[in-house]
Amino acid sequence: MTESTVPTALWNRGAPDIESAVYDCRQVFAEELAALARRDPRVVAVCNDSVGSSNLVAFRTEFPDRLINVGIAEQDLVGVAAGLANAGMIPFVSAAGPFLTGRALEQIKADCAYSGQKVVLCGQSPGMAYGELGPTHHSVEDLSWLRAIADLAVLVPTDREQTRAALRWAHATVGPAYLRIPRFKVPDVIPPGAPCEPGRALTLRQGDDVTVIAIGTLVSRALDAARTLAGEGISVRVLNTPFVDPLDDDAVLAAASETRAIVTAEEATLSGGLGAAVASLVGQHHPVPLRLLGVTGFAPTGSTGFLLEHFGLTADGICRAVRSVLSPAVRESQP
Partner 1 sequence: MLTADAAVVDHYRDLRRTVRDGHPAHALQELRSMSTAVRLRIVNMIDQAQLGHIGGDLSVTDILVTLFGTVLDVDPDDPHAPGRDRLILSKGHCAAALYATLAHCGYFPVSELATFMAPLSPLNGHPDRRKVPGVETNTGPLGHGFPVAVGCALAATIRDETWRTVVVLGDGELQEGSNWEAAMTASHYGLTNLTAVVDRNRLQQGARTEETKALEPLAAKWKAFGWEVREADGHDHAALIDALKPASTGKPLVVLAYTVKGKGVSFMEDQAEWHHRVPDKRQVRAAIKELSR
Q: Is residue 76 close enough to count as binding partner 1 by CB under 8 A?
A: yes
Q: Which strands, in side-by-side order, build the sheet including 202-205?
A: 202-205, 236-240, 210-214, 261-269, 290-295
The candidate with the shortest Cα–Cα distance to 221, out of 251, 265, 161, is 265
DSSP string for residues in 247-266: --HHHHHHHHHHSSEEEEEE
- For the bound state, the minimum distance from the C-beta of residue 120 to partner 1, rounded and expressed in Å, comes to 14
Q: Which range in 30-38, 73-81, 176-184, 233-241 contacts partner 1 by CB under 8 A? A: 73-81
Q: Which range in 63-71, 187-195, 274-282, 288-296 contacts partner 1 by CB under 8 A? A: 63-71
- For the bound state, the minimum distance from the C-beta of residue 9 to partner 1, rounded and expressed in Å, comes to 40
Q: Is residue 165 close enough to count as binding partner 1 by CB under 8 A?
A: no
Q: Is residue 78 close enough to count as binding partner 1 by CB under 8 A?
A: yes
From candidates 6, 44, 152, 218, binder to partner 1 by CB under 8 A: 44
Q: Which range in 13-21, 76-84, 237-245, 272-280 contacts partner 1 by CB under 8 A? A: 76-84
From candidates 80, 170, 315, 319, binder to partner 1 by CB under 8 A: 80
Q: Is residue 163 close enough to count as binding partner 1 by CB under 8 A?
A: no
Q: Is residue 65 close enough to count as binding partner 1 by CB under 8 A?
A: yes
269: CB partners within 8 A, 6+ apart = 140, 141, 143, 144, 294, 295, 296
Q: Which range in 115-123, 199-207, 261-269, 302-310 contacts partner 1 by CB under 8 A? A: 115-123
Q: Which range in 66-74, 232-240, 271-279, 327-335 contacts partner 1 by CB under 8 A? A: 66-74
Cβ(186)–Cβ(22) below 8 Å: yes
State the DSSP code for 94: E
From candidates 111, 141, 188, 209, binder to partner 1 by CB under 8 A: 111
SS (H, E, C) 189-218: CCCCCCCCCCCCCEEEECCCCEEEEECCCH
CA distance 179 to 173: 13
Q: Is residue 176 close enough to count as binding partner 1 by CB under 8 A?
A: no
Q: Total number of residues binding partner 1 (CB under 8 A)?
A: 31
Please say which residue, 72 or 133, places its beta carbon nearer to partner 1.
Answer: 72
Please say which residue, 105 or 129, places its beta carbon nearer to partner 1.
Answer: 105
Cβ(125)–Cβ(99) below 8 Å: no
Please say which residue, 47 or 270, places its beta carbon nearer to partner 1.
Answer: 47
Residue type, 298: F
CA distance 172 to 128: 29
Cβ(294)–Cβ(275) below 8 Å: yes
Give how far the C-alpha of residue 256 lies from the chain's centroid of Cα atoms, to the nearest Å. 21
Binding site for partner 1 (CB under 8 A): 44, 65-66, 68, 70-71, 73, 75-89, 91, 106-107, 110-111, 114-117
